[in-house]
Structure 1
Amino acid sequence: MNTQHALPPITLAANDYNRLLFTAMFRPKPGRRKANFLLEELRRAKVCHPAALPEDVVSTNCRVIYRVDDEAKSRAHLLAHPEDLIWPGAEISVTTPLGAALLGLRVGDRMPFVEADGQVHEVFVEGIGLRFLDDSSMVTRAPDVFAWS
């Protein structure tokens, strides 16, 4: 694994950016190392409106297909906020080293990350599956006003 190349650019929807910034800033002290990696990623992110997020970019609430290091078999998980995890084994928290590394990458990007035990890995994004809409990214419209005649 060669991690000497520059880090790939990342793009985040504003709703993810704001929620993750809050999570990283107020995370308990034992998770500080993970929070610091997440904060570093947030600092270098390009932030856009949720509707402008390219379809090939990994975000929370999307199924991402990826490989770690030189694994022969792909993995697929739903990337989720830690408080939203409901399907053990099918999801990965965005606050884990792997989850933070995946966030904002485009299909075809590679990104190094360090596990809690100090092991360095590299993740490769192969594809984006189903993307679930987050309620906070929904555009709401005021009710129509009817004029009385």
Structure 2
Amino acid sequence: MGNEIILTELDYLRLNSLIYRLLDERNQNIRELNFLNIEIRTAKKVAPKKIKPNVVTMGSSIEVTFVETGKTIELKLVYPHEANHEDGQISVLSSLGCALLGAKVGDSISYRTSEGTQTVKIGKVLFQPEANGIDLT
């Protein structure tokens, strides 16, 4: 929705490497990989120590509210191999995960689902690795 995407330099490097590795492996998620590639390339990159604690980074746990239903849930943004929907661990390659990456508390994020477009609002960042002294180098 026109919100600036902010990434740590470390997340950018890791995600860029992931994209190229999965493309080399001829991963089936070509559309998602291309979308993520565009998102990270256009994002503002900052040093991990300078990222604000209200920004969603890889490994962040956040509280989101579905605008259409008012339902609030907790999610954790993870790499594809860590994804587990039952535990609320959402892959950065999913439509929602990619949309959340680099967003801030208060942002409303729209993403595509098989049923159409949904919108969530980021209520809180419950845990961010960088704000807790993790992933700073």
TM range (shorter): 0.7 to 0.9
Alignment of 1:1-149 (within 5 A): 6-27=1-22, 28-85=26-83, 88-115=86-113, 117=114, 119-132=116-129, 137-139=135-137
Q: Considering only aligned residues, what root-mean-square deviation do their CA atoms show, in Å?
A: 2.4
Compared CA separation, residues 55 and 37, structure 1 to 2 (3 A): same
Unaligned segments of structure 2, at least 5 residues? none
- CA 1:8/1:87 → structure 2, altered by over 3 Å: closer, same or farther? closer
Q: What are the superposed Cα offsets for residues 93-144 of structure 1, whole Å, 9 maximum, x if unpaired? A: 11111001000001011222223x37222221111002235998245xxxxx
Separation in structure 1 between the aligned mates of residue 8 and residue 66 of structure 2, nearest angstrom = 25
Percent identical: 25
| TM norm structure 1 | 0.77
Q: Does the Cα contact within 8 Å between 1:102 and 1:123 map onto a contact in 2?
A: no
Flag as ranges the 4+ runs of structure 1 deviating above 6 A: none
Contact 1:15–1:136 (8 Å) recurs in 2: no
Instruction: Tell me the CA shift for residue 72 of structure 1.
Output: 1.8
CA distance in 1, matches of 2:84, 2:65: 23
Q: Which has the larger radius of gyration?
A: 1
Unaligned runs of 5+ in 1: 1-5, 140-149
TM-score between both structures, scaled by the size of structure 2: 0.83
Q: How many pairs align?
A: 133
Encode CA deviations 1:13-52: one digit per residue, 9 max, x unaligned. 1111111112223323410111122112112200011110
Identify the structure with the greater helix proportion: 2
What amino acid maps onto 1:127 in structure 2?
K
Which AA in structure 1 matches 2:98? Answer: A
